[in-house]
Amino acid sequence: MTLTLERIRTDIADCLGEEPADIPVDENLVDYGLDSVRIMALLERWRREHGVQADFADLAEQPAIEAWAPLLGVA
């Protein structure tokens, strides 16, 4: 099952303790509390559930939903 933009947003909001509506797709997620532990947790989950191939550095280098979408196989 492939990831959708909404799924990504929901998962991120979940691990940050925020509402999905409060997470913009074009902003630096670090400002919203995203850190390496959370990225790894998300990555682990997405690898397991969605077969994602990206690695930690890929995601951590540009921590924004828009930048992640192509890396995570979202069309």
Partner 1 sequence: MTITLATETELPLTAAQSGMWYAQALDPLSPAQNTAECLEIDGPLDPDLFATALRRVTAEAEALRVRVADTPEGPRQYLREAVELPLLVQEMSTVAEAEAWMRADLAEPCDLATGPLFRHALFHVGEDRWLWYQRIHHLVMDGFGYSLLVRRTAEAYTALVRGEEPGPRTFGRLADLVVDDATYRSSETFAADRAHWSRAFADRPEAPRLAGRGALPSRTFHRRTAHVSPETTQRLRELAARLRATWPDLLIAAQALYTSRATAQSDVVLGLPMMGRMGSVALRVPGMVMNVLPLRLTVSPDATFAELVRQVVLGIREVRRHQRYRYEDIRRDLGLLGENRGLVGPLVNIMPFDYGVDFAGAPARARNLSAGPVDDLTVNIYDRADGRGLRIDHDGNPALYGEGELAAHQARFLHLVDRLADTDPQLPLAVHTVATPAEQALVLDEFNRTDRALPPTTLIGPIEAQAARTPDAVALVYGGTSLTYAELNARANQLAWHLQSLGARAGAVVAVSVPRSVELIVSLLAVVKAGAAYLPLDPDYPPQRLTYMLEDAAPVCAITDRAGRLPEDTGTPLVALDGLDVSMYPPVNPARALTPRHPAYVIYTSGSTGRPKGVVVPHGAIDNRLRWMQHEYGLTPGDRVLQKTPSSFDVSVWEFFWPLREGAALVLAEPGGHKDPAYLARLIREQAVTTCHFVPSMLQVFLAEPDAAACTDRLRRVFCSGEALPRETANAFGRTLPGVELHNLYGPTEAAVDVTYHACAPEGSGPVPIGRPVWNTRLYVLDAALQPCPPGVPGELYLAGVQLADGYLRRAELTATRFVADPIGPAGSRMYRTGDLARWTGKGEVEYLGRTDHQVKLRGQRIELGEIEASLAAQPGVDGACALVREDRLVGYVTGMADPAAVRAALARELPEHMVPAAVVALDVFPLSPSGKLERRELPDPVFAGGARKRPPASPREEALTGLFAQVLGVEEVGPDDAFFDLGGTSLLAVRLVTRVREDFGVELTIGSLFEAPTPAALAARLDAAGPASGDALDVVLPLRAEGTRPPLFAFHPAGGISWCYAGLTARLGPGQPVYGIQARGLVGDEPLPRTLQEEAEDYVERIREVQPQGPYRLLGWSVGGVLAHTVAVLLQEAGEEVQLLALLDAFPAEQWRERPAPEEGDALTAVLRMAGFERTDERDRDDVLATLRRAGSPLAGLSDHTLSRIVDIVPNHARMMREHRHRRYDGDLLFFTAAAPRPEHWLTREAWRPHVSGVIVNHDLDCTHPQLMRARHLDDIAAHLAARLKEFDA
What is the C-alpha to C-alpha distance for residues 43 and 24, in angstroms, rounded to an integer? 19
Map residue 33 onto helix, strand or coil: coil
The minimum distance between CB 48 and partner 1, in angstroms, equals 14
> Closer CB to partner 1, residue 6 or residue 27?
27
Q: State the binding string over 16-55 for partner 1 (x if CB under 8 A, else -).
A: xx----------x-xxxxxxxxx-xx--------------
C-beta closer to partner 1: residue 6 or 44: 44
Give 74's DSSP letter: -
Count Cβ atoms within 10 A of the Cβ of residue 54 and give its class: 0-12 exposed, 13-18 middle, 19 or more buried. middle
> Which residues are near partner 1 by CB under 8 A?
14-17, 28, 30-38, 40-41, 56-57, 60-63
